[in-house]
Amino acid sequence: MTATWDFLIGKDDLARTERREGPAPDAVALEAGEALLEVERFALTANNITYGAMGEAFGYWRFFPAPEGWGRIPVWGFARVVRSNVPDVAVGTRVFGYLPMSSHFKAQLRRTGHGLVDAAAHRAELPPTYNQYSEVLADDGLEDYRALLRPLFMTSFVIDDWLARQDDLGAGSVLMSSASSKTALGLAWLLARRGVKVTGLTSEGNRAFLEGLGFFDQVAVYGDIPTLETRRPVAYIDFAGNPAVVLAVHSRFGDDLVHSAIVGVTHWKAGSGGGGGDLPGPKPVLFFAPDHIRARIKASGQEGLDRDFTAAMSEFVRANPWLKLEHHAGPDALAAIYAQVLEGRASPDTGHIITLA
């Protein structure tokens, strides 16, 4: 039988990668209560680069242990149980959730009122949102979109929900960096649906694409920030994590910023953070999606969140036929697409789905 393998990433250099083989699946040692899952397919986006860039600070490297100096960046997708020492989890069970970029992985699966969780000790202190797995009983035709959009559009969804519950912080408009990222596109669509004015910051190469979507009131390139005009006051949502952009936005709008939220790190080479030193206007605040997901669950329950999110995601997919899926098979394709996404060469209208099994 073919050996298992892990796609490893250098913690100190996200461009350093290695595929390392392990034992055959039937030779992997399983303790009582453990299951071995075969990874079927997952989405790969700039969001996964954020996981790597913020791996130490937010514990993303801790979900799937790796050899010293290496990490296994998490992805969202589907896996199947191929061996099980868990009494109530049968071989053949399919799940959706947080996976490593590996052919297989071990999990201490436990059933709860909302599905399955990985109860491994090394994951106990990590955000529970990432430890939950949904059992998949049938393909609803949206599986690839769920792999692509569950982490991205869920962040869009909870940001929009948070803003709406605070009357959009009294802002006249919302300004977002890295506006071509899938999370920013989802948020822009949700905001526009509520009638909120949205300005997107992007590179020149993505400007025409964003302008053609119809849900940005204005699209500007980063060099325009010193002279940018938009309806004030402004709520700034930072998906880029580029300190120079943060500084430019704060210098331009100063006290006319009602809020400055840090969400992602798509510009990972530029470093992360809020710009360093003293900034004009409000201090940037981290928007950590799992915290807001927990708050939403507390307010409306898990079923309410799942219902509202699924309805919004389905509508987003129907309303945005420009979003294309590209499928890639095998570890070599994974390495090539990872490099493309890492270097910022992925097209904003394309979602990459990697099939392994």
For the chain, the residue count is 357
Q: Enumerate domains of the chain plus CATH numbers.
A: 5-138+324-355 (3.90.180), 152-290 (3.40.50.720)
Please tell me the distance from the alpha carbon of residue 193 to that of residue 257, in angstroms, as a whole number.
23
Q: What are 43-79's pLDDT values in tens digits?
A: 999 889 888 988 888 889 999 999 999 999 999 999 9
The token pair that represents 159 in the structure block? 């940001």
Question: What does DSSP assign to residue 189?
Answer: H
**Strand runs labelled E in the chain:** 5-10, 13-21, 35-44, 70-71, 74-84, 94-100, 104-107, 109-112, 115-118, 132-135, 173-176, 198-202, 218-221, 234-238, 257-262, 285-286, 324-329, 350-355
Say which residue the tokens 């964003």 belong to. Answer: 210
Asked whether 216 and 198 are in contact (CB, 8 A), the reply is: yes
- Of all residues in the chain, the percent with pLDDT exceeding 90 is 73
pLDDT band of 32, cuts 50, 70, 90: very high
What is the pTM assigned to this prediction?
0.84
pLDDT at 275 over 50: no
For residues 231-248, give the mean pLDDT: 93
Q: What are 116-165's pLDDT values in tens digits?
A: 999 999 998 888 888 989 999 877 778 999 999 988 899 999 999 999 99
Please, what is the end-to-end C-alpha distance for the chain in angstroms? Answer: 14
Looking at residue 8, what is its pLDDT?
97
Q: Are strands 234-238 and 115-118 parallel, antiparallel or unpaired?
A: unpaired
Asked whether 17 and 335 are in contact (CB, 8 A), the reply is: yes
**Strand runs labelled E in 241-309:** 257-262, 285-286
Please tell me the distance from the alpha carbon of residue 49 to that of residue 14, in angstroms, as a whole number.
8
pLDDT at 277 over 70: no
